[in-house]
Amino acid sequence: MRHRSLRLRLLVAAALSLTMALVVAGFGLVLLFERHVERRIDEELDNDLRQLAGAIGFDSVGDLALTQRPADPRFGQPLSGLYWQITDETTGQDLRSRSLWDSSLNLPTDTSDLTAVHRHVLPGPAHATLILRERRVAILQSGAQHMLRIAVGIDQADVIRASHDFAGDVAPSLALLGLALLAAAWVQILVGLRPLEAVRRGVEAVHAGLRSRLPTVYPDEVLPLANEINDLLDAQDRAIIRSRSSAADLAHGLRTPLTVLGADARRLRERGLDDVAGEIEALVETMRRHVERAITKARLRPHRGAAASLRALVDRIIGIVGRAPRAADLAWENKVPDDLKVAIDADDLAELLGNLIENATKWAGNRVRVAATALDGVLELTVEDDGPGIPATQRASALRRGVRLAADQAGYGLGLAIVGDIVETYAGSLRLEDSAMGGLRVSVTLPMRERE
pLDDT value at position 452? Answer: 33
DSSP E strand boundaries for 72-128: 82-88, 94-96, 118-123
d(CA 429, CA 1) in angstroms, rounded, equals 30
**In what helix (H) or strand (E) does residue 43 lie, and over which residues does it extend?**
helix 6-55
pLDDT value at position 400? Answer: 62
Backbone angles phi, psi at 136, to 5 degrees: -110, 140
CB atoms within 10 A of CB 340: 20
Listing DSSP states for 383-413 in one string gives EEESS----GGGHHHHTSTT--S-TTS-S-S
**In what helix (H) or strand (E) does residue 159 lie, and over which residues does it extend?**
helix 156-208
CB 68 within 8 A of CB 55: yes
Backbone angles phi, psi at 221, to 5 degrees: -75, -25
pLDDT value at position 82? Answer: 92
d(CA 452, CA 450) in angstroms, rounded, equals 6
The closest alpha carbon to 81, from 22, 156, 2, 1, belongs to: 156
d(CA 74, CA 77) in angstroms, rounded, equals 5
Report CA 345 to chain centroid distance, whole Å.
33
CA distance readout (Å), 297 to 251, 276, 287, 301, 313: 12, 32, 15, 9, 22
The closest alpha carbon to 317, from 268, 383, 380, belongs to: 383
CB 298 within 8 A of CB 243: yes
CB 430 within 8 A of CB 443: yes
Pairing state of beta strands 82-88 and 340-342?
unpaired
Backbone angles phi, psi at 431, to 5 degrees: -135, 145
pTM of the predicted model as reported, rounded to 2 decimal places? 0.53
CA distance readout (Å), 10 to 18, 19, 184, 220: 12, 14, 13, 21
Q: What is the block-wise mean pLDDT of the chain (452 residues), using blocks of 10 residues?
A: 78 93 93 92 91 86 84 90 90 89 84 77 90 88 84 90 91 93 92 88 78 84 88 85 74 72 78 77 73 63 58 85 75 85 75 85 88 84 88 75 46 64 81 88 76 36
Domain 305-450 superfamily per CATH? Histidine kinase-like ATPase, C-terminal domain (3.30.565.10)
CB 92 within 8 A of CB 104: no
Listing DSSP states for 259-303 in one string gives HHHHHHHHHHHHTT-HHHHHHHHHHHHHHHHHHHHHHHHHH----
Domain 209-299, CATH 1.20.5 — does that match?
Answer: no
pLDDT value at position 47? Answer: 92
pLDDT value at position 86? Answer: 92
**In what helix (H) or strand (E) does residue 434 lie, and over which residues does it extend?**
strand 429-434
pLDDT value at position 188? Answer: 92
The dihedral over CA atoms of 254, 259, 264, 265, expressed in degrees to the nearest 10, equals 100
